[in-house]
Amino acid sequence: MGPNTATTAKPGSVDDQSVDAPLLEPQVDNQRDLPPEPSGVMECEDLNVYYGDFHAVHDVNLIFGRHEITALIGPSGCGKTTVLRCLNRMNDLVAGARVAGRVAYHGADIYDSKVDAIEVRRRIGMVFQKPNPFPKSIYDNVAYGPRVIGMEVDDLDSHVEGALRDAALWDEVKDKLKQSAFGLSGGQQQRLCIARTIATKPDVILMDEPCSSLDPIATSHIEDLMVDLREQYTIIIVTHNMQQAARVSDRTAFFTARPDETTGNRTGLLVEFDQTKTIFSNPSDRRTEAYISGRFG
């Protein structure tokens, strides 16, 4: 991996963001040398998702590279969250959801009838849009994952500490581990949810708009954290915030929604997938360019 220019928190990053916002083309400050093709940890082949009769996502082909951050961007209703939730079979929980095509994890189809969805989710963790700590203590929130999956850890206390340190939360909570997680701020709760996820040592971490309910300072904490975590994990993030995609991701997939002529239902499809710097500086599809430059979506 190339030298990582974005791991250190820039003191002025919050202000930078407000300066960046009116720019038509967000600054890509996450430049590093990437292989032209991602070395696939996960792969979608002709992925189609249906909710009952509704065709939510059409023919998505994507490869998610190891130790890379892949951002899924696009306007509302373009199916990016649906694609994300297919990657660890969270869509199984939605009544009527049906997945066609192939989602491969290290070459194995996670939708194979012999594959256990529980096992999939142990390898592919997920952080949600709204921070969702359990109504338990901070410690128990982090220890929950290792406990339920029967993870063999030498010392649970130091394991919890390690996860909290990795999530850049330890210093803030080390004196109140037994207190309720609900007492934390929104940004801290979201980092707790990240700590909870990495405590189970997943391979891939899915993040569904993890900063959408957070203020800019908390957002910049999470973004710095994501870039740090890239060293150990493969991260796939859905975001509405193009600046965020530009700041943190290595590769970006742009989705859009195509209305059906007869029903008016909008089906999501992948328009373009490339290195983030290419997507933001030299997109090959006009729709991507229009979205990036703020002309639609």
Partner 1 sequence: MAATVVAPQVLSTSKRGHDSSAGSLLFLAALWLSLAMAIVFLMTLVVTTAVDGAGRFDSALITEYGSKLTPDTTGLRAALLGTLWLMVTTALLAIPIGIAAAVYLEEFADNTRWYNRLVELNLQNLAAIPSVIYGMLAVGIVALVGIQRTGIILVGAVALGLLILPVIIITTREAVRAVPREIREGSLALGATPLQTTWRQVLPSAIPGIATGTIIALSRAIGEAAPLLIVGVAVTVRFDPTGIMSAFTAMPIQIFNWTSESREEFKVAAAAAIIVLLGMVLLLNGLAIFIRNKFQRRW
Instruction: Select the span of 126-134, 170-178, 253-261, 276-284 touching partner 1 (CB under 8 A).
Output: 126-134
Q: Is 201 in the site for partner 1 (CB under 8 A)?
A: no
Instruction: Select the span of 26-34, 89-97, 154-162, 280-288 touching partner 1 (CB under 8 A).
Output: 89-97
Task: Pick from 80, 122, 221, 277 the residue near partner 1 by CB under 8 A.
Answer: 122
Instruction: Select the span of 128-136, 170-178, 237-245, 261-269 touching partner 1 (CB under 8 A).
Output: 128-136
Question: Could you give the CA distance from residue 108 to residue 265 in angstroms, rounded to a whole number?
Answer: 32
Amino acid, single-letter form, for residue 187:
G
Residue with tokens 């194995």: 108
Strand partners, 99: 49
Q: Is 115 in the site for partner 1 (CB under 8 A)?
A: no
Q: Is 200 in the site for partner 1 (CB under 8 A)?
A: yes
Going by C-alpha positions, the residue among 104, 97, 85, 111 that lies closest to residue 44 is 104
Report the b/e string of 130-165 with b at 16+ CB within 10 A. ebebeeebbbbbbbbbbeeeeeeeeeeeebbbbbbe
Q: Is 106 in the site for partner 1 (CB under 8 A)?
A: no
Question: Could you give the CA distance from residue 192 to residue 214 in angstroms, rounded to a whole number?
Answer: 14
- The least distance separating partner 1 from the CB of residue 261, rounded to whole angstroms, comes to 30
Q: Is 287 in the site for partner 1 (CB under 8 A)?
A: no
Cα distances from 21 to residues 51, 64, 291, 296, in angstroms, run 35, 28, 14, 16
Amino acid, single-letter form, for residue 192:
L
Neighbours of 283 (CB within 10 A): 20
- The least distance separating partner 1 from the CB of residue 179, rounded to whole angstroms, comes to 15
Task: Pick from 12, 95, 107, 175 the residue near partner 1 by CB under 8 A.
Answer: 95
Instruction: Select the span of 20-28, 31-39, 88-96, 99-107 touching partner 1 (CB under 8 A).
Output: 88-96
In this structure, what DSSP letter does residue 258 have? E
Categorise residue 35: left if φ over 0, alpha if ψ from -120 to 50, beta otherwise.
beta
Q: Is 24 in the site for partner 1 (CB under 8 A)?
A: no
Q: Is 93 in the site for partner 1 (CB under 8 A)?
A: yes
The residue count for binding partner 1 (CB under 8 A) is: 24
First to last CA, the chain: 34
Task: Pick from 19, 23, 100, 118 the residue near partner 1 by CB under 8 A.
Answer: 118
Q: Is 100 in the site for partner 1 (CB under 8 A)?
A: no
Q: Is 144 in the site for partner 1 (CB under 8 A)?
A: yes
Q: Which of residues 156-195 bind partner 1 (CB under 8 A)?
A: 193
Is 224 strand, coil or helix?
helix
Q: Is 50 in the site for partner 1 (CB under 8 A)?
A: no
**Comparison of 88 and 243: residue with beta carbon closer to partner 1:** 88
Report the run of H or E that residue 16 belongs to, with start and end.
helix 13-20
Instruction: Select the span of 140-148, 219-227, 253-261, 273-281 touching partner 1 (CB under 8 A).
Output: 140-148
Cα distances from 205 to residues 8, 122, 173, in angstroms, run 21, 10, 23
- Determine contact, residues 278/269, Cβ cutoff 8 Å: no
Q: Is 108 in the site for partner 1 (CB under 8 A)?
A: no
Q: Which residues bind partner 1 (CB under 8 A)?
A: 88, 90, 93, 95, 118-119, 121-122, 125-126, 128, 130, 132-135, 144-145, 148-149, 193, 196-197, 200
